[in-house]
Amino acid sequence: MIKSINNISALKLINEVDNLLILDVRRFSEFKSGKIPNSINIPVDDLEFELDELNEFKEKPILVYCKSGIRSTVACTLLEEEGFSNLYNLRGGILDYTGNIE
């Protein structure tokens, strides 16, 4: 199930959930220019080919984000179709995120 969450909910999730995977689905050049701490980068265009890398997280919470929320919605849909069950889409993407950026 995909839950679309706002910035405040995302910050709470990041601060309170120990086994959270933070997945940035922007291009690598965007990722290098600033990211949510502890996030990993798999661009949405590569995601279907990198699913094996994420298999251990099928049941764990995953926060997915991009620049504005569009690519992360696409990524969440793909992940849900592949059996991932605990997905959070950051509505508004990193543009709306007010937490730490590294």
Active site residues: 66
Residue pair 79/62 in contact by the 8 Å Cβ criterion: yes
CA–CA dist 87, 66 (Å, integer): 14
Phi-psi region of 69 (alpha: psi -120 to 50; beta: other; left: phi over 0): left
87-90, strands of its sheet edge to edge: 2-5, 87-90, 62-65, 21-24, 39-41
